[in-house]
Amino acid sequence: MSVSNATRIVPPVSKADFCDGMRNLAGACVVIAGSADGQRAGLTATAVCSISAEPPRLLACVNKDVYAHGLITRSGAISINVLGQQQEIIAKRFAGMVEGVAGEARFQEEGTWERGLLGAPVLTDALVSFECRVVEAIPANTHDMFVCEVVGIAGQMTNEDPLIYFNGSFSALG
């Protein structure tokens, strides 16, 4: 395809078609968490990827409308906690899928959370947790893309299967 063809005016697909297509893109389940002003918040996400190993950087996309976004923006710190197959309840808690569990209550009962090097909550029993400093926030419509420099790594780092999200449900690879 030439560049001139890519610049033709062609409308985007509908939101419904896009969502149907994205159901077929499996993604690792992570909990993105932040802390500021004595408050913690987090969300379940699949929109995380590696940018570079030198320097060690990750990209995390966070909706501007979620409470955690404000905490991450104010603190400049984030944790990205990769969930294992046995941690589906944590994914559901932070996705708002557990009735009556919101805000600080998401950090209670499930998982071991500790304060990280930069103050963000870190799930120490995740497959792996990346502690990061936000080095850039790039606006992208409803979300911000946070470019994050990894300053610490914790977690179990075992051979356990990761928790993935595919076709509207959680599952494991195995």
150 has a pLDDT exceeding 90: yes
Give the pLDDT of residue 5: 67
pLDDT band at 3 (very low <50, low <70, confident <90, very high): low
Residue 86 lies in a domain: yes
Dihedral sign computed on CA atoms, order 109, 62, 138, 165: positive
Is 50 within a domain? yes
Q: Work out how many domains the chain is built from and give that number.
A: 1
Cα–Cα distance measured from residue 53 to residue 32, given in angstroms and rounded to the nearest whole number: 20
Pair 91, 108: CB distance under 8 Å:
no
Please tell me the distance from the alpha carbon of residue 144 to that of residue 158, in angstroms, as a whole number.
31
Looking at the domain assignment, is residue 146 inside a domain?
yes
User: Cβ distance 157 to 127 under 8 Å?
Assistant: yes
CA 65 to chain centre: 15
In-domain check, residue 85: yes
pLDDT at 26: 77
Q: Is residue 74 in some structural domain?
A: yes
Does the global pTM surpass 0.75? yes
Residue-range definition of the domain harbouring residue 83:
30-172
Look at residue 15 and tell me if it is in a domain: no
pLDDT tens by residue, 10-51: 888 888 888 888 887 878 899 999 999 899 999 999 889 999
Q: Where do the H-state alpha helices sit in 25-171? A: 67-75, 88-94
Q: Is the pLDDT of residue 4 over 80?
A: no
The helix or strand, by DSSP H or E, that contains position 3, with its residue range, turns out to be helix 3-6
> What is the model's pLDDT at position 2?
53
Has residue 12 been placed in a domain? Answer: no
Identify whether 43 is part of a domain: yes
pLDDT tens per residue, range 135-147:
999 999 999 999 9
> Would you report the helix, strand and coil content of the chain in percent, each value rounded to 5?
20, 45, 35
Mean of the pLDDT values across residues 69-94? 94
User: What pLDDT does residue 1 have?
Assistant: 47
**At 160, which CATH number?**
2.30.110.10
